[in-house]
Amino acid sequence: MHLNTSDGNMEVDIKYDCSDVDWPAIAEMLQRVGMTHYEPHLHRKAFENSAVTVFIHHAGQLIGFGRAISDNAYQAAIYDVVVAPEFQRRGLGHFIINTILTRLPLCNVILYASPGKEGFYEKHGLRKMKTGMARFTNAEKMRARGFTE
């Protein structure tokens, strides 16, 4: 399909299911943008157990993805939203978030933004939480990266 990006029309392939996903590429992209990454088989498990998944390919290459977990009733949480650096600021991130929010119309949706990316989510109507709490398995690393006090 053609995606109307900020710099014109871009030919992309959008997938909403987890068949034929290049799981090592998911891990590599997360690593490339400085986000927490795991062994490819763990990403596969996480995406396959998610309520909504979005994958964007261009010229056969994975260039963006995102996912949300949900009870499919009233709560959901967004994770692993990434656009490859060379394709950022063209509207692909907007497409990923918009797709996830549209597919979970009745749910409260929470997420924790990478420090500095809050503005991106505010553009989609999300607001900073005043009482968000988290137990991270890698607590010290997340504190050092600015996610917790």
Least separation, in Å, of the C-beta of 16 and ligand COA? 18
On whether the CB atoms of residues 121 and 113 are closer than 8 A, the answer is: yes
Cα–Cα distance, 17 to 103 (Å, whole number): 13
Interaction between residue 94 and ligand COA (CB under 6 A): yes
Interaction between residue 89 and ligand COA (CB under 6 A): yes
Of the residues 41, 123, 141, 143, which one makes contact with ligand COA according to CB under 6 A? 123
For 72, the token pair is 């499919």
Nearer Cβ to ligand COA, position 21 or 84? 84
Interaction between residue 50 and ligand COA (CB under 6 A): no
Least separation, in Å, of the C-beta of 123 and ligand COA? 4
Least separation, in Å, of the C-beta of 102 and ligand COA? 15
Of the residues 26, 52, 83, 101, which one makes contact with ligand COA according to CB under 6 A? 83
Residue 59, sorted as left (phi over 0), alpha (psi -120 to 50) or beta, turns out to be left
Q: Which window, 39-47, 79-87, 126-134, 136-144, contacts ligand COA (CB under 6 A)?
A: 79-87
Binding residues with ligand COA: total (CB under 6 A): 19
On whether the CB atoms of residues 16 and 68 are closer than 8 A, the answer is: no
- Backbone torsions φ then ψ of 121, nearest 5 degrees: -75, -30
Interaction between residue 93 and ligand COA (CB under 6 A): yes
Looking at residue 56, its amino acid is I
Residue bearing tokens 């994958």: 55
For 63, the token pair is 């260039």
Within 13 Å, how many C-alpha atoms sit on residue 45's CB side? Answer: 6
Residues that bind ligand COA (CB under 6 A): 33, 35, 81-83, 88-94, 113-114, 116-117, 119-120, 123
